[in-house]
Amino acid sequence: MKSKILKVSLNRKIENLSYPIIVGDNILRNSGEILKEFLHKKKVVVIYDSFFSSTTNPNNAFEEFVQSINKLTATLNFIDIPGGDKTKNIDQLNKIIEKVLAYGIDRQTVIIAFGGGVIGDVAGFAASILLRGIDFIQVPTTLLSQVDSSVGGKTGINSKIGKNLIGSFHQPQAVLADINILKTLPKREFRAGFAEVVKYGLIKDLEFFNWLNQEYESIFIHDKNSLKTMITKSCEIKADVIKNDEKEGAERALLNLGHTFAHAIESFGNFDGRVIHGEAVSIGICLAFKLSNKLCFCSIDDTKKVINLFQKSKLPTSLHDIKKISISTSGMIKKFKLDKKSKQNELTFILNRRIGESFIKQNVNVGVLTQFLNEEV
């Protein structure tokens, strides 16, 4: 299967930045040729998910990737870190920074993030602050990271106060998404990534949502054509959203549909795996549509269609679907106030007028929101 190359173009005031997203099947074995212009005779540090060096890893894609880029580089060093949100903390970041500096890097050094969204977030943040900013490349290995977190330049770590509150915008030089490596994902992780895919149809593409509603079964059996179409379309939509709003001053906030709820839900679980990001997003999107309906913005029919697709995809759609996590209305409200979209203690949510049309709703009434949550918790 031939690879598909997309371009992310950002219209900055000072410079026009663009970088490629390469999507294909078994393309990691040709990484050296694909990434030659970025890596040739440079010092390279690969920060990768320790899963790929474990005996339980059934895929040799990482070894093929390393072999393919090895001869290109001036030096090639490795740092393995665990996946999962527990890794996104200041202590782990400090360890990575000290290790990278010990390799004698310079301003031309390139960091490669090889793993899921957590690896990309942490490695990208490290790249953004090392020597006041060095280049990095994203090699996302999960569905969630291939369709969402690897594109757009958001990097960062979690605080004890909340999720993704420490970070920076640092765009990658390139994104290399190999659909073959998705075979390494547990079913739960793959389905969780699908929630982020559905989000793209919901915010601005009804036709894509309808396609996902028809093709979800082929996606879950890893049909290659369906996967390639799904990932490419998701990246196209995200690139279109961020091209004029790199740092979330306006439209880019739409990409957070369901995430204000989701981040609060995740923090109640202390990021311990009882609920993972995509599952929280699935619940969060359903809550956003229910709230949109309650506020008379969106029809009950559209709300039911959204919930039905997530249910068919075996994803949670309600706070009651989360086991062994105690969630309170007052606690949710407190966490909403820490959301980056909130301003001067006024709560902001991404809501929908219909499937395919999200909008930013500022100053959501706390009383109405409290009543709504009391019905859901």
Active-site residue set:
132, 154, 196, 238, 248, 252, 256, 259, 263, 277
Other CB atoms within 10 A of residue 38 CB? 20
Closest residue by Cα to residue 310 from 360, 262, 342: 262
User: Can you say whether the dihedral through the CA atoms of 16, 4, 34, 181 is positive or negative?
Assistant: positive
Closest residue by Cα to residue 320 from 239, 257, 376, 236: 376
Q: What string of DSSP letters covers 162-211?
A: STT-EEEE---S-EEEEGGGGGGS-HHHHHHHHHHHHHHHHHH-HHHHHH
What's the Rg (C-alpha) of the chain? Answer: 20
Residue 56: partners with Cβ closer than 8 Å, 6 or more residues away: none
Calculate helix-pair angle for 366-376, 277-294, nearest 10 degrees: 120
Tokens of residue 155, six digits: 């990097």
Q: Please enumerate, as own/partner, the contacts of 206-210 that have beta carbons within 8 Å and a separation of 24 or more.
A: 206/354, 206/355, 206/356, 207/356, 208/233, 208/237, 209/309, 209/355, 209/356
